């Protein structure tokens, strides 16, 4: 099977001054298949957000090649085939909920498909709040809105950078369940960066663990749990033992990092 995203020998060097630099990522290679949900995890500073930005086409690697659908990530952006939601919602405060979801249509120069907008408001359970401005919504609602906005153009690639990172633990579990429900309905190639290993196991098909200094991918876990996954899934033995083994690996990386 032809991979959808190919990452081949990618490095990223940040120059701090004329002579000083940091290698954030060194020689990373992996592939992501069509409609696969991949989670990038690892300790802070391992470069996972940097890698995500490059896959999204917001940043260029210093070395190596990233191809999405056989093309430069910028091509995918230009064809409006990417959706993105981040830890900060990035909603426009002067637009109401429905207008925020319609924004990608406007930015793409497409006629606004009001049915699609309503369908998404329904999907993230915000139909009643279509006329509310972001400042009138709770943190969880804003994140749901931002995910709806990411999905409105039916992207071929979904980029999620800690989308629920700023939420409390209870809301976060609920959001994960919602996202899982939405995603399972229409699987889309997704790359998620997260600090929460439960979240990574619950949502993804595959987990790539990265280690810092310099950033590389050091472990890979397949998540063979059947979909759709529910809150029940997150209490089952298979789920818990996988979270356990991913967690102990991360602890291992962090402790060697601290000792070195």
How many positions of this chain bind other proteins (CB under 8 A)?
29
User: Do 47 and 40 contact (CB within 8 A), yes or no?
Assistant: no
Residue 83 binding other proteins, by CB under 8 A: yes
Residue 104 binding other proteins, by CB under 8 A: yes
- Report the residue from 98, 153, 203, 217 that binds other proteins according to the rule CB under 8 A: 153
User: Do 124 and 116 contact (CB within 8 A), yes or no?
Assistant: no
- Report the residue from 92, 169, 222, 231 that binds other proteins according to the rule CB under 8 A: 92
Give least dist CB 91 to other proteins, A.
Answer: 8
Residue 56 binding other proteins, by CB under 8 A: yes
Residue 107 binding other proteins, by CB under 8 A: yes
Residue 4 in tokens: 């959808």
Q: Which stretch binds other proteins (CB under 8 A): 16-24, 101-109, 176-184, 227-235?
A: 101-109
Of 84 and 209, which has the nearer Cβ to other proteins?
84
User: Do 85 and 163 contact (CB within 8 A), yes or no?
Assistant: yes
Of 114 and 136, which has the nearer Cβ to other proteins?
136
Of 150 and 200, which has the nearer Cβ to other proteins?
150
Residue 91 in tokens: 């909603």
Residue 189 CA to residue 82 CA, distance in Å, equals 10
Please give the C-alpha separations between residue 231 and each of 37, 65, 175, 199, 246, in angstroms, as whole numbers.
19, 39, 11, 12, 19
- Give the end-to-end CA distance of the chain in Å, rounded to a whole number: 41
Of 101 and 121, which has the nearer Cβ to other proteins?
101
Residue 55 binding other proteins, by CB under 8 A: no
Give least dist CB 246 to other proteins, A.
Answer: 28
Residue 38 CA to residue 189 CA, distance in Å, equals 8
Residue 89 binding other proteins, by CB under 8 A: yes
Would strands 189-193 and 37-41 be described as parallel, antiparallel, or unpaired?
parallel
Residue 47 CA to residue 12 CA, distance in Å, equals 9
Q: Which residue has the tokens 């889309």?
A: 188
Residues in contact with other proteins by CB under 8 A are: 53, 56-58, 77-84, 86, 88-90, 92, 94-95, 103-104, 106-109, 133, 149, 153, 159
């Amino acid at each position: 099977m032809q991979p959808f995203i190919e990452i081949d020998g990618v490095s990223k060097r940040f120059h701090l001054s004329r002579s000083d630099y940091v290698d954030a990522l060194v020689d990373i290679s992996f592939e992501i298949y069509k409609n696969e949900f991949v989670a990038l995890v690892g300790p802070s500073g391992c470069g996972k957000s940097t890698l995500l930005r490059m896959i999204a086409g917001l940043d260029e690697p210093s070395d190596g090649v990233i191809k999405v659908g056989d093309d430069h990530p910028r091509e995918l952006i230009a064809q409006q085939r990417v959706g993105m939601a981040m830890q900060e919602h990035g909603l426009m405060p002067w637009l109401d909920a429905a207008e925020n979801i319609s924004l990608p249509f406007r930015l793409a120069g497409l006629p606004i498909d009001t049915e699609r907008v309503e369908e998404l408001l329904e999907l993230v359970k915000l139909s009643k709040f279509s006329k509310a401005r972001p400042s009138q919504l709770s943190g969880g609602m804003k994140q749901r809105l931002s995910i709806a906005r990411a999905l409105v153009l039916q992207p071929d690639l979904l980029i999620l950078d800690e989308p629920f990172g700023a939420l409390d633990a209870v809301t976060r579990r609920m959001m994960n369940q919602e996202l899982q429900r939405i995603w399972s309905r229409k699987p889309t190639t997704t790359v998620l960066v997260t600090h929460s290993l439960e979240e990574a196991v619950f949502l993804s098909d595959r987990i790539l663990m990265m280690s810092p200094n310099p950033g590389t991918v050091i472990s890979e876990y397949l998540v063979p749990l059947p979909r759709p996954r529910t809150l029940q899934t997150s209490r089952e033995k298979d789920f818990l033992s996988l979270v356990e083994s991913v967690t102990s690996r991360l602890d291992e990386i962090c402790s060697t990092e601290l000792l070195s």
